[in-house]
Amino acid sequence: MRDEGGGMRDEERTKAMTSIHRSSFRIHPSSFIPHPLSLILAVVLLYGVIYPNLHVLTASLEVNGSWSLENYRDALSHSTTFEAATSSVVLSLLTVAFCAAVGVSLAFLFERYTFPARGLFATLAALPLVLPPLVGTIAFIFLCGESGILARFVQWLFNMKSAPWTLRGWTALLIFHTYTMYPFFYVLTGAGLRRIDAGLAEAARSLGARASQVLFRVILPQLTPSLIAAALLTFMTSMASFSAPLFFGGDVRVLTLEIYNARQRGDAAASLTLTVILAVVSLAALIFFQRYEGTRRFAAAAMKGATRSRQPIRSGRARVVATLCGVLFATLLALPIITLVLVSFAREGTWTTSALPNSYTLANYARIFTQTDASSVFINSLLMSGLASLFALIWSFCVAAVVTGKRMRFRRLISFLVLIPWALPGTVVAVSIIEAYGQRNPLTGSFILVGTFWILPVIYFLRFMPIVVRAVQASIEQMDVSLEEAASSLGARAWMRFLRVRLPLVWPGAVAGTLLAFVIALGEYVASVIAFVPSNQPVSIRIAAEMRDFNVGTAAAYGVILILLIAAAMLVAGRLERGRGLGAGG
Amino acid sequence: MSFLSLLNLSKRYGESLAVADLSLEMERREFFGLLGPSGCGKTTILRLILGLETPDTGSIEFDGRDITRLSPEQRGFGMVFQNYALFPHLNVFENVAFGLRARKADKTEIEERVRDALALVQLPGYERRAVTELSGGQQQRVAIARAIAFQPALLLFDEPLSNLDVALRQETRGELRELVTKLGLTAVYVTHDQEEAFALCDRISVMSEGRVLQTGEPRELYEHPTEIGVARFLGRNNFITARRLTSSNEATGQFKTIDGEHTLTAKIGGASLIPINKNCTLAIRPEYLIISKESPKGNENALLATVREINFTGATTAIKLDAQGLALEALLLNPDGLSIGDVRIVQLPSDHIAVLNQG
């Protein structure tokens, strides 16, 4: 008996050993990369990432043709710059705190307990993730602004003379940021909780730990990597936030807004300097984030076994409370979107002092679909996002092919360079591309990108290709390495291995990632507003213009159509994602 | 010239040496085993042969050709992976046809070969099934069919049975050997399971820490291990530390055990160059110990011993003995008449005592 036990342990050990073995053997001679791919990689990274960013840096250090720190001295001597930097950082830190409070508690509620309609609420909770920031912003204004539905309702209820609040400044920004960004915490904590082996908590209980000890000594330490990842995602998104400060930031000056204003003023030096400052803060966050990624992988490796089962809430009263919380919460989440839909049917110019618009019409939609001028912005956006995400898809396979063939140090470097445009706020990416390719330069000669159709697709590509790269890499990592080795042993050359093994297995994940990039690009505003060409406006620019002209109904209608397009794409992506169980292999 | 020669291969991963200056020769139509504990480098050798890894030093010759720098697809060896590595997006037919398509075989040939291969592994008619809906044993058969369908020059197995349950493992083992012999293939088989290696292989290399300890036929390895590592890895042994009494150039040697100070005679194999008065390790299998009431003829290696423990384990019974300070274990088919505390004569037949090199 003893012998057999020993033998089995040995076998498991062998399996564990070979699996470690396998994963460290990813590089093998047969996967040597044809040179053209490395060349494409080098060119895109040089033109898209290295040169523009270096250019912004050097340009900010140049005054009248010589090196100088004057721009920085100048910028920092203005109290506004300093104020903008601090505002951005403080706003982002507060956003992280609020999002953590909301997101983590929701994740625990939804992952640990079952109650009626749990699944529906759990899905709804991730909703704000796919809401384009600009559309979210205007929906929020319609709902909570001083002339929005809620304010008017309260005013009517208590018969007040003026609006009970103004939607301006810190409070407004924090509420909005929490609403749009808590899903990072919710989704990542949820995923972390699902990965935690229920056996560990049970083991801790069997060793005599109380529930609180289990939480603090077993569960939270394992969640730390997820929490850190969520905190940094939130921080960086908040640093990059532009629409909300633009529309209801009041006198809160944040870096993104200051850069935009400086450009509007024509103050190139200030915009460059501020861009560098914003980039440095964001990159510091990225480096911090990458450092902790290693620990996450370790954590995932230690977690195999049964998933934690959800506990049903048994007591009747608790069930009612939980369900009520869920309904309330779902309503809160859905309110901005319901508002948007409602306003999109409002007859322009009729919604002035009442709580709800008093007359409804289909005219807003009709106008969008019948006027070529109005529908052309959709075609523009679809075309530009489509091109950007298609290139991102092809590009991702290049990156994956090159990266898996290289030594660790190169792999790190390439992955880092690829991630940079994602970590940088859209404002920074737009400014750096415009500055780098707005005049003749050593890389492109007399070709000037700014002012052409391609400026926005290029910026969309750079900003969102990291999403696709990550999706493709994740799918490849999930793929069993021995499949390609088996193909190789069966005589398949590199192309056949790619077409018949890697591509079909990675395809669903890659397409899902591409669709995600596509929908995000579809509603892009932050970079578009800096770089767009008047003859080729994306939807977001039009929405903002309609808002400025007080055509709220039309703006809302554009927003609703955008949301519908995004929902459709996400539905397809989700389908693909689910069908991926296939790729797991023997 | 051997069919497959590994010449002074070394492979290092970072700090650890997975294969250390290893040389092996395999003959045509041989079923060759690589046996050793996990992490001993046996899988690395398989990957070197297949071409998934390139050696840091040394070369690999196959059928008189140096293939060290060839890629796996250029070598054309079939491999059955430990986890089968079946393509989940392809059905059984396409999995088996994969190697043929890579060789641009024409349609009728592909169909014929796939049908034959599936018939050989006893899965006829499974062509259109999805591999993900097959049982572990069936997936295993598909993996074998896929590896043999394109008629590889060499067939490699990486612990192919380790994911099957015990009964299925034994059944598949027999079929596998039959199949390889029928097709006249040369096979290299990696396993950590001694029984599996013994049942399948013509010759086996026992490995440890990237080196080959001993190569030989199963029975030779079992009965005449020359290395302590081999004796320890294969089955159970009584290890006796003893001092050499007679000079090394005689065919039989005299040894004095450290525990109990008994004088033992043992046949000395070629490699055992242990100087006089040096300590060495003797090994004897428990099943070769003879327990009796009377002294045997010649009285060679007969010791007086007390029965300390009797453990019934099924087919055999393990008897723990104390021969005046020397602890021994014997395996008996029939322990009738023995009880704890009995004093008996235990004999260690000299031709079953192995004199081991210290590893």
Of A24, A30, A582, the CB nearest to B51: A30
Q: Please indicate if any CB of chain A lies within 8 Å of the CB of B33.
A: no
Q: Please indicate if any CB of chain B lies within 8 Å of the CB of A313.
A: no
| pLDDT at residue A303 greater than cutoff 60 | no
pLDDT (tens digit, 0 to 9) for every residue of chain B, 359 residues total? 789 999 999 999 888 888 999 999 999 999 999 999 988 889 999 999 999 889 999 999 999 999 999 988 889 899 999 888 999 889 999 999 999 999 989 999 999 999 999 999 999 999 999 998 999 889 999 999 999 999 998 999 999 888 888 888 888 888 899 999 999 999 999 999 999 999 999 999 999 999 999 999 999 999 888 888 899 888 889 999 998 887 656 677 888 898 888 888 887 765 556 677 788 889 999 999 999 888 777 778 899 999 999 998 888 899 999 998 899 999 998 888 888 999 999 999 988 888 887 65
Q: Do B102 and A493 touch (CB under 8 A)?
A: yes
| pLDDT at residue A386 greater than cutoff 80 | yes
Q: Which amino acid is at B235?
A: G
The confidence score (pLDDT) of residue A18 equals: 37
- Contact list, B147 vs chain A (CB under 8 Å): 489-490
Residue in the block written with tokens 């409602």: A342
Bridge partners (DSSP) listed for residue A67: A62
Q: Please indicate if any CB of chain B lies within 8 Å of the CB of A9.
A: no
B201 and B280 share one domain = no
| pLDDT at residue A230 greater than cutoff 50 | yes
Of A487, A489, A492, the CB nearest to B78: A489
Q: Given CA atoms B231, B234, B238, B239 in this order, what sign does their dihedral have? A: positive
The confidence score (pLDDT) of residue B358 equals: 66
The confidence score (pLDDT) of residue A490 equals: 92
The confidence score (pLDDT) of residue A273 equals: 86
Domain termination residue (choose one: B165, B195, B228): B228
- Contact list, B159 vs chain A (CB under 8 Å): 14, 18
- Contact list, B98 vs chain A (CB under 8 Å): 487, 490, 492, 500
The confidence score (pLDDT) of residue B204 equals: 95
B96 CB contacts (<8 Å, ≥6 apart)?
Answer: B114, B117, B118, B142, B145, B146, B149
Give the tokens for residue B137: 């044993």
Cα–Cα distances (Å) from B197 to A183, B42, B178, in that order, read 55, 13, 15
| Strands of B343-347's sheet in order across | B290-292, B343-347, B302-312, B317-323, B326-332
Q: How far apart are CA B282 and CA B273, in angstroms?
A: 13
Domain termination residue (choose one: B185, B205, B228): B228
Q: How far is B318 from chain A (nearest CA, A)?
A: 13
Q: How far apart are CA A499 and CA B76, in angstroms?
A: 20
Residue in the block written with tokens 């956006």: A381
B235 and B220 share one domain = no
The confidence score (pLDDT) of residue A292 equals: 64
Please state the length of chain B: 359
pLDDT tens per residue, range A464-492: 998 899 888 888 888 888 899 999 999 99
- Contact list, B44 vs chain A (CB under 8 Å): 21
| pLDDT at residue A190 greater than cutoff 90 | no
Q: Do A30 and B73 touch (CB under 8 A)?
A: yes
Give the tokens for residue B139: 């997936």
Could you tell me which CATH number the domain at A28-52+366-586 has? 1.10.3720.10
Burial class of A2 by CB neighbour count within 10 A (0 to 12, 13 to 18, 19+): exposed
pLDDT tens per residue, range A564-579: 988 888 888 878 776 6
Domain termination residue (choose one: B186, B208, B228): B228
B240 and B335 share one domain = yes
Q: Which amino acid is at A279?
A: A
The confidence score (pLDDT) of residue A6 equals: 37
B243 and B217 share one domain = no
Q: How far apart are CA A66 and CA A51, in angstroms?
A: 19
B180 and B303 share one domain = no
Q: Which regions of A44-193 does DSSP assign to beta strands (E)?
A: 62-63, 66-67, 113-114
- Contact list, A3 vs chain B (CB under 8 Å): none
3-state secondary structure of A433: helix
- Contact list, A490 vs chain B (CB under 8 Å): 73, 78, 98-99, 102, 146-147, 150
pLDDT tens per residue, range A96-128: 999 999 999 888 887 777 777 777 777 777 778
Give the tokens for residue A310: 């959800």
Q: How far apart are CA B61 and CA B2, in angstroms?
A: 9
B218 and B237 share one domain = no
Of B71, B79, B98, the CB nearest to A30: B71
- Please list, residue by residue across A494-508, b when 16 or more beta carbons sit within 10 angstroms of its beta carbon and e when fewer do: bebbbebbbeebbbb
B258 and B191 share one domain = no
Of A14, A30, A491, the CB nearest to B38: A14
B145 and B19 share one domain = yes
Residue in the block written with tokens 């750079």: A462
Q: Do B192 and A582 touch (CB under 8 A)?
A: no
- Inter-chain CB pairs, A–B, below 8 Å: 119
**Residues 567-586 in A contacting B (C-alpha not used; CB under 8 Å):** 582-586
Q: Do B52 and A25 touch (CB under 8 A)?
A: yes
Q: Do A582 and B132 touch (CB under 8 A)?
A: yes
**Highest mean predicted confidence (pLDDT) among A8-12, A159-163, A406-410, B240-244:** B240-244
Q: Which amino acid is at B116?
A: D
Q: Please indicate if any CB of chain A lies within 8 Å of the CB of B198.
A: no
Please state the length of chain A: 586
Q: Please indicate if any CB of chain B lies within 8 Å of the CB of A24.
A: yes
Q: How far is A412 from chain B (nearest CA, A)?
A: 18
Q: How far is A201 from chain B (nearest CA, A)?
A: 30
Give the tokens for residue A368: 């969008």
Q: What is the mean pLDDT of chain A?
A: 80
Phi then psi for residue A544, to 5 deg, are -60, -40
CB–CB of A225/A289 below 8 Å?
no
Bridge partners (DSSP) listed for residue B332: B317
pLDDT (mean) for A420-425: 86
Q: Please indicate if any CB of chain B lies within 8 Å of the CB of A83.
A: no
CA angle B214, B220, B222 (to 5 degrees): 85
Q: How far is A413 from chain B (nearest CA, A)?
A: 20
Q: In chain A, helix, strand, coil percent, each to 5? A: 75, 5, 20
pLDDT confidence tier of residue A77, bands split at 50, 70 and 90:
confident
Q: Do B38 and A17 touch (CB under 8 A)?
A: yes
Give the tokens for residue B182: 């029928």
Give the tokens for residue A287: 């480096």
Q: Which residue has the higher pLDDT, B19 or A164?
A: B19
3-state secondary structure of A303: coil
Could you tell me which CATH number the domain at A78-361 has? 1.10.3720.10
Give the tokens for residue B9: 């291969």
Q: Do A490 and B98 touch (CB under 8 A)?
A: yes
Q: Do B52 and A483 touch (CB under 8 A)?
A: no
Q: Which amino acid is at B80?
A: V
The confidence score (pLDDT) of residue B205 equals: 95
Give the tokens for residue A255: 């870096």
Q: Do B139 and A490 touch (CB under 8 A)?
A: no
CATH number at residue B20: 3.40.50.300
Element (H or E) spanning B19, and its range?
strand B16-26
Extents of the domains making up chain A: 28-52+366-586, 78-361
Of B44, B88, B162, the CB nearest to A585: B88
Q: Do B99 and A13 touch (CB under 8 A)?
A: no
Q: How far is A293 from chain B (nearest CA, A)?
A: 23
Q: Angle B136-149/B92-102 helices, nearest 10 degrees?
A: 20
Q: Do A488 and B52 touch (CB under 8 A)?
A: yes
Q: Which residue in chain A is spatially nearest to B99 when comparing CA positions?
A: A490
Q: Which residue has the higher pLDDT, A442 or B154?
A: B154
Cα–Cα distances (Å) from B161 to A269, A363, B141, B181, B328, in that order, read 69, 70, 10, 18, 35
Domain coverage including residue B133: 4-228
Query: How large a percentage of chain A has pLDDT more than 70?
Result: 86
CB–CB of B193/B200 below 8 Å?
no
Q: Please indicate if any CB of chain A lies within 8 Å of the CB of B160.
A: no
pLDDT (mean) for A326-342: 84
Lowest mean pLDDT among A203-212, A429-438, B67-76, B271-280: B271-280
The number of distinct structural domains making up chain B is 2
Neighbours of A220 (CB within 10 A): 13
Q: How far is A409 from chain B (nearest CA, A)?
A: 14
Q: How far apart are CA B150 and CA B100, in angstroms?
A: 6
DSSP letter at B97 equals H
Q: Do A582 and B72 touch (CB under 8 A)?
A: no
Q: How far apart are CA B86 and CA B147, in angstroms?
A: 11
**Highest mean predicted confidence (pLDDT) among A320-324, A556-560, B260-264, B297-301:** A556-560
The confidence score (pLDDT) of residue A174 equals: 93
Q: Given CA atoms B88, B89, B95, B98 in this order, what sign does their dihedral have? A: negative
Q: Please indicate if any CB of chain A lies within 8 Å of the CB of B16.
A: no
ipTM confidence score: 0.80
- Contact list, A25 vs chain B (CB under 8 Å): 47, 52-53
- Contact list, A5 vs chain B (CB under 8 Å): none
Q: Do A490 and B146 touch (CB under 8 A)?
A: yes
3-state secondary structure of B221: helix
Residue in the block written with tokens 């295993």: B140
Residue in the block written with tokens 């075609």: A379
Q: Do A583 and B88 touch (CB under 8 A)?
A: yes
B238 and B135 share one domain = no
B116 and B127 share one domain = yes
- Contact list, A485 vs chain B (CB under 8 Å): 50, 52, 72, 79, 81, 85
- Please list, residue by residue across A296-314, b when 16 or more beta carbons sit within 10 angstroms of its beta carbon and e when fewer do: beebeeebeeeebeeeebe
B41 and B171 share one domain = yes
Q: How far is A580 from chain B (nearest CA, A)?
A: 10
Q: Which residue has the higher pLDDT, A468 or A14?
A: A468
Same topology for domains A28-52+366-586 and A78-361, yes or no?
yes
Q: Which amino acid is at A67?
A: W
B216 and B284 share one domain = no
Cα–Cα distances (Å) from A230 to A66, A191, A224, A303, A423, in that order, read 42, 11, 10, 19, 14
Q: Angle A363-370/A552-578 helices, nearest 10 degrees?
A: 70
| Antiparallel, parallel or unpaired: β B326-332 and B252-257 | unpaired
CB–CB of A93/A236 below 8 Å?
no
- Contact list, B101 vs chain A (CB under 8 Å): 496
Which of B11, B15, B38 has the highest number of chain A CBs within 10 A, making it the mutation to test binding with A? B38
Q: Give me the DSSP letters along A39-82.
A: HHHHHHIIIIIIHHHHHHHHHHTEETTEE-SHHHHHHHHSHHHH
Q: Do A24 and B13 touch (CB under 8 A)?
A: yes
